[in-house]
Amino acid sequence: MSAAKSTSSVHDVGADKPPFGSRSDRFSVICAFISFSFFQSRFLTDESQVWSQNAWDHVPPPDDQMETINASLSKQRLTPVPDADKPKYNEKPARHWDNFYKMNSSNFFRNRKWLHNEFPELVEAAQSEAGPKMIAEIGCGAGNSVFPLLASNKNPHLQLRAYDYSSHAVKLVQNNELYLSPPAGSIHAAVWDLTSAEGLPVGLEPETVDIVILVFVFSALHPDEWGRAISNIYKMLKPGGLVVMRDYGRHDLTQLRFKAGRLLDDNFYIRGDKTRVYFFELDELSLLFTGSKALANQITDRTTEEVEDDSTHASPVASPGPHSQEASPVPQEPSGSSDVLSPVPPSVATPHTPDLKIETDVHPNLSKPLANCPPHPLFATEQLGVDRRLLVNRKRQLKMYRVWMQGKFRKLSS
């Protein structure tokens, strides 16, 4: 059993770079490092032994992964969503999220305790000596990010704000016992659309928020809405305020599993429950927040492997409906304390694997100034990384690749 993970899976671009080691020459092109320590590693040197252990550290995608990706994407492009049907999915997305939360009780969602490892700034804000702080989670859902923070909060001056455009999700938050009687500080939840043209939520003044949390939020937006979303985030943050985010990555397992009639646009899909999802490249996230593509020394690529029981992997994530073959809006997320996941130490961190030649195209909206958004630069990148996780089902001899993007962006002073 490996020790519980207690540090972030991505590297702070402002920190000294640790010594770099690799298992093959193809890992020496882009420097990328992981901030792990005090752990032992297990290396896969014989592919035939892949099923013999519970976990293998930083296993790269196989050389034939592009064949799998291209085959899946080619099938999807043969039968996209008809143009005449696209408006009904894009006009009132909050309605579909309302239906999702009505179908699932608050017990369906796992608390995101891993956020405290990935973003220590959240923990620091909850310390008794931190002083006045305001943290806003946008796309709060059932409160699975704010409630773990609230439960451990020792700061009487911490204000938590939880916003979602699903009124049913907000009701779930408001009915939680911690919401009704917080142990310290305060919490307020309200219905608000991040892409609103009417400005910030009622009662929230500009430049009053210290940290904005965005967990699987931008992927739910139409690309035409990105500019307004960035603008609203920028408005609410104090100068020097921080955005912490995690979202779906390009060619994640859930993207490749979409069937016919689900492709709305390139890398943009409609699920069986009519909620939408976009799969990002790192350059796209960098362009959204900074106006520039990511620099090589800003990118971290973490690849690990873990085992899933056969009973848990008929489908890799919970499905919201009996006929849905695609992933639900609630992703299978890292727990931060997996018994089968061995973190990667800094001396053997895994960078990009450029020989895979995976496309790095960005959305056309990002090749020009974003509509309804102040001109860049608006933020500076503090952290930007890929978390690639190989899920292994030993009984069925299955390998399933998950890809998540993670970043921290600091608002520049005016």
Take residue 175 and report the two structure tokens written for it: 């009915």
Structure confidence at residue 399 (pLDDT):
76
Q: What is the pTM of this model?
A: 0.77
% of residues, the chain, pLDDT over 70 = 67
Structure confidence at residue 116 (pLDDT):
79
Structure confidence at residue 117 (pLDDT):
80
* Of 136, 149, 150, 109, nearest in space to 241 by CA: 136
Structure confidence at residue 387 (pLDDT):
83
**Beta-bridge partner residues of 387:** 302, 404
pLDDT in tens, 87-115: 988 888 777 777 777 777 655 556 666 78
Q: To which residue do tokens 């009904």 refer?
A: 88
104 CB-contact burial (10 Å; exposed 0-12 / middle 13-18 / buried 19+):
buried
Rounded distance between C-alpha atoms, residue 66 and residue 87, angstroms: 32
* Of 89, 152, 139, 154, nearest in space to 109 by CA: 139
* Alpha-carbon distance values, 81 to 13, 75, 273 (Å): 40, 13, 14
∠ CA(198), CA(204), CA(206), 5° rounding? 80
Confidence of residue 408 (pLDDT cuts 50, 70, 90): very high
Averaging pLDDT over each range in 48-52, 268-272, 319-323, 348-352, which range is the top one?
A: 268-272
Give the DSSP letter string of 309-376.
Answer: -GGG-SSSS--SSTT--SPPSS-----S--SS--PPPGGG-----GGG-------GGGGSPPTTSPPS
Query: Would you say residue 48 has pLDDT above 80?
Result: no
Take residue 193 and report the two structure tokens written for it: 């659309």
Structure confidence at residue 307 (pLDDT):
52
pLDDT in tens, 58-75: 556 677 788 889 999 999
Rounded distance between C-alpha atoms, residue 257 and residue 382, angstroms: 32
∠ CA(8), CA(12), CA(17), 5° rounding? 110
Which strands, in side-by-side order, build the sheet including 379-393? 186-191, 158-164, 133-138, 209-215, 237-248, 398-411, 379-393, 299-307
Phi and psi dihedrals of 247, rounded to 5?
Answer: -155, 175
On whether the CB atoms of residues 306 and 388 are closer than 8 A, the answer is no
Query: Would you say residue 316 has pLDDT above 50?
Result: no
Pairing of strands 133-138, 158-164: parallel
Query: Would you say residue 14 has pLDDT above 70?
Result: no
Rounded distance between C-alpha atoms, residue 119 and residue 122, angstroms: 6
Please tell me whether residue 68 adopts helix, strand or coil conformation: helix
Confidence of residue 24 (pLDDT cuts 50, 70, 90): very low
Pairing of strands 237-248, 398-411: antiparallel
Please tell me whether residue 88 adopts helix, strand or coil conformation: helix
pLDDT in tens, 114-140: 787 889 999 999 999 999 999 999 999
Residues with Cβ < 8 Å from 381, sequence gap 6 or more?
13, 286, 289, 290, 294, 295, 298, 407, 408, 409, 410
Amino acid type, 211: I
Residues with Cβ < 8 Å from 346, sequence gap 6 or more?
18, 19, 33, 34, 35, 36, 37
For residues 34-38, average pLDDT = 29
